[in-house]
Chain A
Amino acid sequence: MTTDTYRRSAADDHPANASPEYKSTATRSPTRPPVVLPQSLSEITGPLLSTERLGALENDLTRQRMSAPLGERIIVQGRVLDENGKPVPEALVEIWQCNASGRYHHPGDQHDAPLDPNFYGGGRARADGDGRYKFITIKPGAYPWKNHHNAWRPAHIHFSLFGPAFATRLITQMYFPNDPLLAIDPIYNSVPEGARARLQASFDIDLTQPEWALGYRFDIVLRGRNATPME
């Protein structure tokens, strides 16, 4: 019988901390196994950020500046669920991404590609009671990085979620289907093979709005509660 409130993930759900093809892990990954911690109140509680008030346009990255940004307008929509298939209601979803040219609005990004004064690249959304969230943005570009010769990141959007507990905190990246760069990206491929496809959004003609924007669906699954012994 377990006393854990939240299920523990299997080893083949997440990347190994040391993933040699992703060079930065060499100096930033622990080598000792983590100490397995029974889940106490410290782990099963966590920030819900329920008093955080979101502005009306925070989930629309195409309307945060004076004019529309350059690039292919897209809708990214999905649900925040747990491993039991239950929605995570009112979940705060944070995203950030580069612009259509592959450049981040960040002083550390020195890629020789133009900044877009009409694109900041950050957004937040609050899921509804059924875990549904929605962003309007532009498709991010691919960009080079210095991991190895001729290394390019596939187009991606960073996602950050808290879920109901300290134990459910997740930062991940959403990728686009049929991107040829996925096959050669060390970060995407740090995920065990059987779990990688979970990071790909799917093109969805039903989310696509005629004459306006392509729609992509991306559901995010956080750790689920164990059934309690009494149930």
Chain B
Amino acid sequence: MPSVTPSQTIGPFYFGTIINGYRHDLAPPGVPGERIDVVLILHDVQGAIVPDGLLEIWQANSAGRYNHPDDRRNLPLDPGFEGFGRASTDTSGCSHFSTVKPGRVPWPTGGLQAPHINISIFARGVLNRLATRLYFDGDPANGEDPVLNLVEPARRATLIARRDGSGVWRLPIHLGGANETVFFDC
């Protein structure tokens, strides 16, 4: 059997070859759900911003359904909503997305996960894709989320976005240092 191809860094010169593949706005008009704006801010281990990263998000729709054939549940799909976003970080380390708040999705051994967005991180100096999640501060389901409960309590806050004064959900991502984000081996 063939062996898996090793990972390499995206490098500094990724230029969205995929030029028409940058996707900041995931939810065209008419897609149901609570409209949200999300800003992810990427920091290195010393806290400096990372202006040359690429962030991708993957999420369920507002009904908690993934647009994928392996999600076989009888829940509605929304035309025009794939659930995928991609944005490079800007000179202030930020990637901006507009989307809808995802619904809850099940956990393999029963129960439901709290609403969350799955995140992939790429950058120069990052040799393997880093995977993390965004949860929403104040969501009543967070307390029973099986993934948050896998994480030691002191580090859970690294996964929880907070709303700023204008209602934008902001999540700093730290590649290392005292506030190192929780990354997942999935």
* Any B CB within 8 A of the CB of A105: yes
Which of B58, B122, B150, B180 touches A31 (beta carbons < 8 Å)?
A: B180
Q: How far is the CA of A45 from the CA of B84 in the complex (A)?
A: 11
The count of residues in chain A whose C-beta lies closer than 8 Å to any C-beta of chain B is 81
CB–CB A124/B186 < 8 A: no
Q: How far is the CA of A164 from the CA of B70 in the complex (A)?
A: 9
Q: Say whether, besides A81-B2, A166-B58, A196-B6, A38 and B185 are in contact (CB < 8 Å).
A: no
Q: How far is the CA of A188 from the CA of B8 in the complex (A)?
A: 8
Q: Say whether, besides A13-B6, A83-B4, A34 and B185 are in contact (CB < 8 Å).
A: yes
Most chain A beta carbons < 10 A, residue from B19, B107, B186? B186
Stretch at the interface among A47-55, A68-76, A176-184, A207-215: A47-55
Q: How far is the CA of A32 from the CA of B141 in the complex (A)?
A: 27
Which of B4, B71, B151 touches A41 (beta carbons < 8 Å)?
A: B71
Distance from B101 Cβ to chain A, minimum over Cβ atoms (Å): 15
**Chain A residues closer than 8 Å to B16, beta-carbon distance:** 122
**Chain B residues closer than 8 Å to A81, beta-carbon distance:** 2
* Any A CB within 8 A of the CB of B171: no
Stretch at the interface among B31-39, B92-100, B126-134, B161-169: B126-134
**Chain B residues closer than 8 Å to A22, beta-carbon distance:** 9, 125, 127
**Chain A residues closer than 8 Å to B19, beta-carbon distance:** 122
* Any B CB within 8 A of the CB of A16: yes
* Any B CB within 8 A of the CB of A155: no
Q: Say whether, besides A35-B150, A166-B58, A172-B8, A30 and B17 are in contact (CB < 8 Å).
A: no
* Any B CB within 8 A of the CB of A84: yes
**Chain B residues closer than 8 Å to A141, beta-carbon distance:** none
CB–CB A35/B84 < 8 A: no
- A127-166 CB mask vs B (1 if < 8 Å, else 0) is 0000000000000000000000000000000101000111
**Chain A residues closer than 8 Å to B113, beta-carbon distance:** 40, 42
Q: How far is the CA of A171 from the CA of B150 in the complex (A)?
A: 28
Chain B residues proximal to chain A, CB less than 8 Å: 1-19, 21, 44-46, 48, 50, 52, 56, 58, 60, 66-68, 70-71, 82-84, 105-109, 113, 116, 118, 120, 122-131, 133, 147, 150-151, 175-176, 180-186
Chain A residues proximal to chain B, CB less than 8 Å: 3, 5, 8-9, 13-17, 19, 22, 24-32, 34-49, 51-52, 81, 83-85, 94-96, 98, 104-106, 108-109, 121-124, 158, 160, 164-167, 169-173, 187-188, 190-192, 195-196, 198-199, 219-224
* The 4 residue pairs across chains A and B that have the minimum distance between CB atoms: A122-B17, A24-B125, A45-B68, A28-B125
